[in-house]
């Protein structure tokens, strides 16, 4: 049985691998570019906000995760101090892209808070783990007093855009280059608890 639980330090290596494995296919043949994926999308959260990570657990092993920052200033500071310099050593163009991404996230965090990243390994996709992870995160963020959770997606034609729209996300901002920000009103999270978790007891502490 697959359950949703809080991230534990033992999950670090596998969660990082899931992040890298589900990144852009064009990056998979380069160890440095795979490292870039992890540097930008999971390392900060494991290092500084592990309390805001939940994993899908299949018999003791993480098979998916969702992570979120609830500390806007810390995220911005640590990305600039630690992770962006590492990205710059990999590629100037990836660093420039990442710098813009961090700046955009900082602005969106100010308006919507709860910027998140979600990934599920290939073998466990199609099992409705995405909605379960998002619902779990949503309950967590609402309990912390946040009003929204949000993400930036590549464009309106992606499969992800349809998934988030079905979950209840709404488009809130055009971020340029075809990307759009989608936000979810956490006042609606109980509807998805009933729909995807049946009851909050499914979440393992």
Give the 3-state secondary structure of residue 54: strand
Q: What is the DSSP string of 128-162?
A: SHHHHHHHHHHHHHHHTT--EEEEEES-TTSHHHH
What pLDDT digit, counting tens, does each position of 132-180 carry?
A: 999 999 999 999 999 999 999 877 777 778 899 999 999 998 887 778 9
Residue-wise over 136-171: b if at least 16 C-beta within 10 A, else e? Answer: bbbbbbbeeebebbbbebeeeeeeebeebeebbbee
pLDDT of residue 123: 94
Q: Dihedrals φ, ψ of 26, to 5°?
A: -70, -15
Give me the mean pLDDT over the 117-133 stretch. Answer: 94
| 149 closest CA partner among 163, 134, 131, 160 | 134
For residues 4 and 193, the answer to whether their CB atoms sit within 8 Å is no
Identify the CATH assignment for 2-204 out of 3.40.630.30, 2.40.50.100, 1.10.3720.10, 3.40.50.720. Answer: 3.40.630.30
pTM metric for this prediction: 0.92
In the chain, where are the structural domains located? 2-204
């Amino acid at each position: 049985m697959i359950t949703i639980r809080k991230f534990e330090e033992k999950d670090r290596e596998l969660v990082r691998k899931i992040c890298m494995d589900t990144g852009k296919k064009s990056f998979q043949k380069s160890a440095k570019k795979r490292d870039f994926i992890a540097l930008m999308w999971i390392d900060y959260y494991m290092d500084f906000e592990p309390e805001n990570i939940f994993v899908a657990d299949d018999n003791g092993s993480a098979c998916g995760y969702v992570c979120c920052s609830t500390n806007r200033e810390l995220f911005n500071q640590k990305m600039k101090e630690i992770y962006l310099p590492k990205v710059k050593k990999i590629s100037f163009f990836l660093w420039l892209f990442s710098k813009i991404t961090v700046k955009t996230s900082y602005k969106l965090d100010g308006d919507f808070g709860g910027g998140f990243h979600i990934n599920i390994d290939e073998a466990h996709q199609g099992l409705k783990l995405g909605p379960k992870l998002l619902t779990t995160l949503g309950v967590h963020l609402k309990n912390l007093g946040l009003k929204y959770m949000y993400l930036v997606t590549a464009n309106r034609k992606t499969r992800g855009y349809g998934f988030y729209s079905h979950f209840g996300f709404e488009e809130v901002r055009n971020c340029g280059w075809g990307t759009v920000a989608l936000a979810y009103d956490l006042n609606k999270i109980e509807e998805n608890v009933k729909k995807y978790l049946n009851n909050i007891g499914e979440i393992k502490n």
